[in-house]
A and B are shown apart, each in its own frame.
Chain A
Amino acid sequence: MFETIGNILAPLTAILIHAAIPLTIILVYALVAIWGERKIAGFIQDRLGPMRVGGFHGWAQSIADLLKLIQKEDIVPTDASRFLFKFAPFMMFAASYAAFAVIPFSPEYIGSNINVGVFYLLAITSILTLSVIMAGWASNNKWSLLGGMRSAAQMVSYEVPTIATVLTVIVVAGSLNLMTVTEMQNGNDILGFLPNWFIFQNPFLIVAFIIFFISILAESHRVPFDLPESESELVGGYQTEYSGIRWAMFMLAEYADMLLLSLLGATLFFGGWNSPFGEFMAGPFWGFFWFMLKGLLLVFVMMWIRWTLPRYRVDQLMHICWSILIPLSFVNLILVALWEMIF
């Protein structure tokens, strides 16, 4: 009998630990990223940002915001579809969170070492689009609906260049398993000293990375592509009717999505958990450090762009995707394949 309990408890504990680790990473990251965004915004705008809460540069600002949001009144519009309205933010967060299962954080740790990692990740993130539509429709507000539809159209369109550029890397790597992809970038053989990262292995992958970066800006609704939820313009978008902790959930999901796609970019193009110095500073914990550093650097660039550029109009946004990025990414795919064949 104890054996049966052991047989159930052991994998259960393992599952819980594997579930808790990415959750902890996301939550800690979200708190730090929100504070970081406000500080970065402040420094770019020639001011200081949060300074008071907690003492040193207001590091506890996000915690204070979280506490405030938790104790707000829970408002559900009268004629809204109650279940869908309440479910949408959690579904959005669940989709971002579930995709973290296949991200290789370190040589010794990956949530789920499946052979179709990339495929699973891209499939799960499509649920984000679904939750956006759900939020827009369930709010019983015409403007939320329109904002939600616009937002969904944007996400669906920009998934095409994302997938095309990811495909270029897979063509080079030959495997959908993200752990294998990372392991293939081990070593420092290019030009004698450059790390073996994919972005250095194939010049067309640089173009692919640029397209990938633009696409993930649009996927996660960041400026210059954030008209559907623009804060200083017209509609509040699909988030209009949400307040308190439900809105916080949307924000959490957005930041988690940003981190997810940045980590994906770091894995595919920048060597994942591989150290740039070869054997020096490598190992399970160093790997985790390098990986998070690369991901956070991409997140920082996303924030930097947000506070510098104005935003695009919806039709211009679509034009960029369909007329420029998609043809370019497919041509790039062919060129990458040719390069691989020749060299």
Chain B
Amino acid sequence: MIEEQILETGKDTREMVINMGPQHPSTHGVLRLELTLDGEMVKQCRPNIGYLHRCFEKYAESVEDYAKVIPYTDRMDYVSAMNQEHGYVIALEKLLEVEVPERVEYMRVIVAELQRIASHLLGIGTFGLDLGAFTPFLYCFTEREKILSIFEKATGARLLYNYMAVGGLMREIPEDFKSDTADFVKTFRPKIKELNDLLSYNKIFIDRTAHIGVLPKDVALNYAASGPVLRGSGVEWDLRKDDPYSIYNRFDFEIPVGKGEVGTLGDCWDRYIVRVREMEQSLRIIEQALDGMPDEGDVKEGIPKRIRPKEGEIYMRTETPRGELGYYIISDKGASPYRVKARAPSFVHLSMLPAISKGALIADMVAIVGSIDIVLGEVDR
């Protein structure tokens, strides 16, 4: 099991260049980090990506229908597929200037927030696993299974759904969806507390993550960080509140922000605890949405027969569990888009890695990469 290969520089060997990856011990994907080490300390870190490049943007230009791009958007960040679809369909709806029925909007918000919880559970579980805590990983996955079962009933798939369509949804909402989700919300709240007891405030975990990978606020903004990474550095910025889309302005929820409680502001622990607290807020949104969702309404009636936007372009950004996902779509009146660019949050966050890992030890590199919570599908598209 050789996870690193050593590349001899052929020069003075006080510093050693090693490769961490492309097969990474944690579940982030195929990422190659070239580390220049001086003993145990990392002097320089150069991420090398492109191992999972699947030509999403070229496909989007060559399929004969805007709607056929939606399954590909699922597959970019395969862990939070609903949020990827959400951004794309909203962008198209703005270009086509179509109205979306109320029931569809509420349903979209509910699945997007459920997906946010599922994605955070995976991010938190694998972060603990990287640091040697084997058990919280399995507890998180038990909860994630419940969410995936709800999705399976609603959409037919567990991980990659192809559920949202322009102006509507692809399938009718099952009858017990509301009660299933309400049950889940009820059982999940105490689990967050259990997770906090087991992992978040554990002294060893704090020793491994506090004061590590500190991201100062102005560096974060200059690097266009977003999502929990930006909020962990103390900036109160959430697209659902600051640039609202869909019906998020109807819900009452808070934005958890890192405060440097157990370490420096903007360290790995702050980013981690922002994710834990975000799950709680997502539960609030889901409860309010379940209350407000109309019970009558056809989800498929708003879907246009042909999607042919007029000439123009749009940049639409939404808040995914990893940060700001932006779709830049240029339309030239054709059947397929002229250019689709997906601005992935993990791509931007990974470019920050050399800046925040100065002076880290090798063991800290794993903690930092885990706390940024990247998914390589998104980085490479």
Binding site for B on A (CB under 8 A): 41, 44-47, 141-143, 223-224, 226-227, 230, 232-236, 240, 307-316
Contact = CB atoms under 8 A, between A and B. Distances in A.
A310 B132 contact: yes
Interface stretch (B74-82, B263-271, B334-342, B359-367): B359-367
Nearest to B27: A232
Given A141-B2, A143-B6, A313-B361, 16 more contacts: A45-B138, A45-B139, A143-B4, A223-B132, A232-B26, A233-B366, A234-B362, A234-B363, A235-B3, A240-B1, A308-B135, A309-B133, A311-B204, A313-B208, A314-B361, A316-B208
A234 B199 CA distance: 21
Contact of B363 (A143, A224, A233, A236): A233
29 contacts: A44-B135, A46-B138, A47-B138, A142-B6, A143-B2, A143-B4, A143-B6, A224-B132, A226-B132, A230-B132, A232-B25, A233-B130, A234-B366, A240-B1, A240-B2, A308-B198, A310-B133, A311-B132, A311-B133, A311-B204, A311-B208, A312-B204, A312-B207, A313-B207, A313-B208, A314-B363, A315-B40, A315-B361, A316-B208
Contacts of B198: 308
Nearest to B206: A310
B366 A309 contact: no
Given A309-B202, A312-B207, A313-B208, A236 B2 contact: yes
A152 B133 CA distance: 23
A46 to B, nearest CB: 6
Interface of B: 1-4, 6, 16, 20, 25-26, 40, 128-135, 137-139, 142, 198-199, 202, 204-205, 207-208, 361-364, 366
Nearest to A41: B134
B128 A310 contact: yes
Contacts of A307: 134-135
Contacts of A230: 132
A47 B361 CA distance: 34
Chain B's interface: helix, strand, loop or mixed, by majority? helix
A222 to B, nearest CB: 11
A44 B364 CA distance: 27
Contacts of A41: 134
Contacts of B138: 45-47
Contacts of B26: 232
B208 to A, nearest CB: 6
B207 to A, nearest CB: 6
Nearest first, the 7 A-B pairs at minimum CB distance are A311-B132, A310-B133, A45-B138, A310-B132, A310-B131, A313-B363, A236-B1
Given A310-B208, A314-B363, A232 B139 contact: no
B194 to A, nearest CB: 11
